[in-house]
Structure 1
Amino acid sequence: MRVAIRGIYTTALTRLFSEAGHEVVQATGPIEKRFEGEFADGPADLACETGRDRQGVSLSGTDEAVRVGRELLAVGRDTFVWNDPTPLGSVFEGRVEGTRGGGAVVSLEGGEGYLPFDETEEYVEEGDSLRVQVTEPTPPWSDDDPRVSTTIRARTPGGLAALEEDGSGIDAPDAETARLVDLLSVELPEGWGVSLGRRAREASLADLEAGLSRAADLAAAFEGRDTAEPYATAWCWFGRESRFSLDELRREVTTTMAGHHRIKAGSNRASDAVDFAEALCEPEEFPFDAVASQFGPQAGDTLAIEHGKPDGRVITLGRGEVIEYDPEGSITLRREMTAGGSYDALGTPRESGDVAITTLKEGRWWYPTTYRDTDGERKGTYINVCTPVELFPKSARYVDLHVDVIKHPDGRVERVDDDELDEAVDSGLVSDELAEKAREVAAAIERALA
């Protein structure tokens, strides 16, 4: 299998795929230098790309390639992978549901898409039926809709070559690369324009021919069809343990500080700082205080609690003020609660003036939240069991593992939601290994509080 890899996890994943016997193609200059070898520029069977928020990667390609990629990326017990119902390159017969910002919301089979007005030459209004193609899938933990376009392209994974429906001519990085198309023996379909990516400039004639030949086959499959799904897409979210496993893979190739991928996932500024630090030294332990002091969170900052679910969704539990900061890796967050209903599982009423005090520690498999009323009286404590917490500059991130432990106002301790964890295991959302860890953590907390 041939795979093209992009983003902050590239070195580690190049090592991972190469060791598994797969060929990495379309590699960048830094990757060629680190691995001390040349990489082909031919078409890929699988494209592996870091998501916009750097929390994980997308896998797009043939069904078999995505299946293999999913298995390889299970680098830790807190790795989660989900199939995308609107994969890259898929074509839908959509209906315009309305407009939003500079585009239109289009209903698709399996979800909704967002069509920027500059991605269509047609006048678009509510109720219109449009044939659209997914150009940018979005992960299940994002609130954004996948981007779509009314321009249909037959594109190889990794973007080496593409054909554009109702297009003409050759769009290439430069005139010399465009002239190479005339030297190829591939038969291109009528009514389709040629588009070559930046990597085509360095590609051999054989690689260009292979890429355009695949694109031509794909274009033929699109002909006369309102819908098509040439590729599969899956999303992989890396938890903290998984990021550190990827650090180990990268360390086999080049200097890699502790927490390399954990820090880079925090922000673009932090990512640049990691590159600078590694050029000077190699810290042996994750430098939480140095990272948080430079990029946050710090006392006085506002931090969101982003509560991931095993099915890929993310629920923001609220935002609070960081009232305590411990350079050893923990913070305490204060949130003011609104009135209405009761606190989950505790059953105590949620009233105006209540506050929630949450302590979050980097790398820990649980965190407690204590609720108090306006007089400071305890209304109960909820201990959430989750994948290891990561304290990013603007949010705390983890995936909830369902089972939790609560301490009632009268001191009674109760373990809850084991049935939800069992259901998640039965449905394949949580692995047996991860579920066993969650139960062990819950049991230890229950014993400590009893």
Structure 2
Amino acid sequence: MVLAKVRVRGIYATALSHLFLKHGYRIVQPSEVIAGRLNIGFDNSPPDVTVKDAEDDSVLVIGKPSEAVSAFELLSRSLKFVFRKTSRVEVNSVYLGRVEKVEQGACIVDVGDFKGVLRDCRGLFVNDKIIVGVPKPWWKEGGLVELTWEFRVLGDYVSLIHGKPSIAFSEYIRDRELKNRLSAIALSKLLGSRLGVKFRSSARFADPEDIETEIEALLGEYKKLMEAAKSVETPAKLRTGEFIGLISLTSIAKKILDHERRSVTPTVPGHHELKNLGFSDELDLVENLVGKGCSLNLVGKGLREWVIRKISETKRFRILHYSPVKGVRELTPGFLKIFKLVEGKACIILERVFTSKGVYDGLGVEKLPGDRDLLIIREGSYVVSHNYFRNGNWLGSYINVNTPPELAPGIVKYHDLVVDVIVKPGEGPVLMDLDQLSILKTKEVASEHLYVLAKKVAELIVRKPEAYVCENYWKSEECLALK
């Protein structure tokens, strides 16, 4: 049985398309490269689900609720070591709500499934009925969801817009002649309706007759919606919108994607990590050599040696800390103090010098200008160790449990697994935030695989904290030999 139609875009497109294909999904609107690699024909049908790159090291899944949820769950199961979140509301869903409160020109509206805020009340009063749309995702658990008068009726090729009589186009529709033809269709069907229209990206591939037919169908649905709003009890959901979810790709998940991609095209180890870090040209060069007969192992080894050499020659590193709770945070940059290969793995110590006052997280120790952090990062390790010093004296260590760092010239990034271990002079190790990670697992933000992994690593640290702590500022190189 063929499942939903999925469109995949971005740097993970080959791996994700292959993953969907082998689970029975139909890949639509593929690029020429993807179609060739997967040996599939060109199918420009509109998708049920779109999967594409997003900010904060994530992929976004959006589409028709049932189909998009299924695709989202498949990716979560297959990639295993991921964080994820879903919008509390369907984007572009339409509700009949009741005004609950009016304050400072805004309305608090009860729509049944949740409560929202309409910023411009336009003379509404308490208990008035109003049709509203949900214009964007809402990731928070609580709070008031943003609402709009300008609700949309979604189709595959177009969306009709109530309250905004204009013509708009997807950013992917750029051809001027095509825009003119589509505009003419919209004007012929919507003139006098006081409705606007936005042409979705799939309109590029549609026959004019199909677009005309869809606009007529959506007009009929719009009229039914407006009639239903007169008779149904408030509050009520009048029209379904789109599911939207984000899956945060850890370095472990990217290795799973490497394996998926390798089954259809030459792929060196660390492909998706390096691609995400901006090394597309280098990857294209070496993987093209494999396509011309060179050994994958040989070119992969050569690329790795080049990356390692560049890391050893780099002085300043950005440090990106990805948290499932707080998002991405860029830490005070570090300067390479020590580089060493230990059993073939790159190990570095970055020195960070603080310029402002504060308090060290977890330690409860005052932070002063001039304090230093020796940040120990080992390739392949599930730990990043912060070791704080003042005038060469050890203040304590904050041992962060995380996915293996992604390391490249000038940049280090990792996904925080929430759990940490604190070690202070003269005191035993203290495990932090395991309860918070447990809550994230219960809420299905953190996968079971990540929870088990983080708990196991934290327990190892607590049993042998000296293996992860660096107490001697002046002999810090010895810390890299610790296991």
Q: Common fold, TM-score beyond 0.5?
A: yes
Residue in structure 1 matched with residue 429 of structure 2 by the alignment: 413
* SS of equivalent residue, structure 1 residue 318: coil
Question: In structure 1, which of residues 238, 261, 265 is the aligned counterpart of residue 272 of structure 2?
Answer: 261
Sequence identity of aligned pairs in percent?
A: 26
Distance 1:48 1:432, change over 3 A: closer
Residue 277 (structure 1) aligned with residue 286 (structure 2) = yes
1:60-85, CA deviations, whole angstroms, 9 ceiling, x for partnerless residues?
A: 11221221122111233321111135
Q: Report the secondary structure of 2:458's partner residue.
A: helix
Q: What whole-Å deviation, never above 9, does each CA across 1:11-43 have from its counterpart, x for those lacking one?
A: 111111111111111111111111222132112
Contact 1:166/1:191 (8 A) holds in 2: yes
2:382 to 365, 369, 372: 365
Q: CA RMSD in A?
A: 4.5
Q: 1:87 to 1:7 in 2, by over 3 A?
A: farther
Q: Distance in 2 between matches of 1:344 and 1:245?
A: 33
Determine whether 1:246 maps to 2:263: no
How far apart are residue 424 of structure 1 and its match? Answer: 2.9
Q: Deviations over 1:264-307 (max 9, x none)?
A: 1112xx1232122211136446754423656x685311322x33
CA contact (8 A) 2:400 2:420 kept: yes
Match of 2:47 in 1: 44
Matched, 1:441 2:443: no
Match of 1:379 among 395, 400, 411: 395
DSSP 3-state at the match of 2:331: strand
Which deviates more from structure 2 when the two are superposed, residues 38-47 or residues 279-288? 279-288
**Cα separation, partners in 2 of 1:353 and 1:312, compared to 1, 3 Å:** closer
Contact 1:163–1:193 (Cα < 8 Å) also in 2: yes
Q: Which runs of 5+ in 2 are unaligned?
A: 98-102, 106-114, 120-131, 141-145, 230-236, 467-483
Name the stretch that deviates more: 220-229 or 42-51: 220-229
Residue identity matched to 1:351: L
Give 1:45's aligned amino acid: D
2-structure distance, mates of 1:182, 1:342: 63
Equivalences for residues 399-410 of structure 1 within 5 A: 399-410=415-426
Q: 1:176/1:84 Cα in 2 relative to 1: closer, same or farther (>3 Å)?
A: closer
TM-score normalised to the size of structure 2? 0.69
Could you tell me which residue of structure 2 aligns to residue 167 of structure 1? 166
Q: How much has 1:192 moved relative to structure 2?
A: 4.8
Equivalent residue, structure 2, for 1:106: none
Instruction: Report the equivalent of 1:334.
Output: 351
Counterpart amino acid of residue 272 in structure 1: D
The 5 A counterparts of 1:85-124 are 85=88, 89=92
Task: Give the CA deviation at 1:180.
Answer: 9.3
1:368 shift after superposition? 1.0
Deviation string, structure 1 residues 36-60 (Cα, Å, up to 9, x no partner): 221321121111111256x221111
1:349 Cα deviation from its structure 2 partner: 3.3
Q: Match for 2:46: what amino acid?
A: P
- How big is the shift at 1:384? 1.0
Distance in 2 separating the partners of 1:417 and 1:168: 51
Deviations 1:139-179 (A, max 9, x none): 99xxxxxx99998765557xx54556523699884657976
Q: Is the 8 A contact 1:379 1:408 kept in 2?
A: yes
Q: Does 1:310 align with 2:333?
A: no
Question: How do 1:109-188 residues align onto structure 2 when only pairs under 5 Å count?
Answer: 134=135, 156=155, 160-163=157-160, 166-167=165-166, 173=175, 175=177
CA offsets, 1:415-437, max 9 Å, x none? Answer: 33333333333333323332221
- Cα deviation for residue 358 of structure 1 reads 0.3
The residue identity in structure 1 corresponding to 2:12 is: Y
Superposition map of 1:319-358 within 5 A: 319-326=333-340, 328-338=345-355, 340-358=357-375
CA contact (8 A) 1:82 1:236 kept: yes
The change in CA–CA distance for 1:252 and 1:40 in structure 2 (over 3 A counts) is: same
Residue 429 of structure 2 corresponds to residue 427 of structure 1:
no
* 1:70 and 1:81 in contact (8 A); partners too: no
* Of 19, 27, 33, the match for 1:16: 19
Using the alignment, how far apart are the partners of 2:51 and 2:220 within structure 1? 22
Taking structure 1 as reference, are residues 363 and 245 closer, same or farther at Cα in structure 2, changes over 3 Å only? same
Q: Which moved more, 1:244-253 or 1:430-439?
A: 430-439
1:85-141 alpha-carbon deviations (Å, 9 max, x no partner): 576546899x999xxxxxxxxxxx88999xxxxxxxxxxxxxxxxx99748x7999x
Select 2:63's aligned residue among 58, 61, 80. Answer: 61
Count, aligned residues: 408
Cα offset, 1:205, TM superposition:
7.2
